[in-house]
Amino acid sequence: MPRPIEQTYRYCPECGVSAERIGEMPFRCTACGYAHFFGPVAAVGGLVVNRNEELLMVRRAQDPGKGKWGLPGGFVDPGETIEQALHREVLEETHLKITASRYLISYPNLYDYQGVVAPVMDLFFVCEVDAGDQVQLDEKELDHFDWVCPSPSRLEQMAFPSNRRAIEYWMRAKR
C-alpha cells in the first residue's frame, strides 16, 4: 500500500533511536534532536509548443505512471536553478533545446516511488524550440511522443494530475 514518506521514519536516521510518534511532521528525534521536515522537492514541467500551437506530450516508459502521458520535465538537482533544470530535463528527455520560456503556474504533486509517497512542487513553463529541431526521446524514460491539441480522452490518460491541470490552465488562458 502506498504510504506517505513521513510514515517510513520509524527510527531516527541520525542516532537510530525508535521514533516515539511515527508519522509526525516534522520528524523530531527526542533523543538527539535531529529534525526532518519533509518539505516538497521542486520539479519542472515544460509545455513545449510548436508554431501550430500544438503541445508536445510524452509517454512514460517507467513507473510511476508507466504507459501514461506527461510533459517533459523532472526533479531540480541540488545547486541548480529552476531554469537550468527546465533546460536540462527537456534536453535530456527530448533532445530539444529551449529557445524561450515563460513561467506559467505551479501545482503540488505527489510522487509514488515504490509505495513511498513524497510531496513535490511542480513548476510549469511554456517553452519554445527551433522549428527545425527534431524530437529524440530518452528511450529509457519515454517510449512515445505526440504534438497535439490535447483532447479530453488524452487528458484522461495522464500520469500526474498536476500535469493535467497545467495543460488545462494553459488551454483556458489561450482562449
Give the other-Cβ count within 10 Å of 130's Cβ: 10
What gap in Å lies between CA 90 and CA 97, rounded to an integer? 7
Q: Which three cell numbers stand for residue 119?
A: 510531496
Pick from 48, 46, 100: which is nearest to 74 by CA? 46
Q: Is 12 in the site for Zn ion (CB under 5 A)?
A: yes
Number of residues lying near Zn ion (CB under 5 A): 7
Q: Is 28 in the site for Zn ion (CB under 5 A)?
A: no
DSSP summary character for residue 167? H
Spell out, one character per residue from 34 to 63, where the chain touches Zn ion: x when CB under 5 A holds, - when not. x-----------------------------
CB 13 to Zn ion: min, Å: 8
> Can you tell me which of 29, 43, 48, 98 binds Zn ion, judged by CB under 5 A?
29
In contact, 85 and 44? CB cutoff 8 Å? yes
CB 129 to Zn ion: min, Å: 48
User: Which residues in this chain contact Zn ion in the complex, by CB under 5 A?
Assistant: 12, 14-15, 29, 31-32, 34
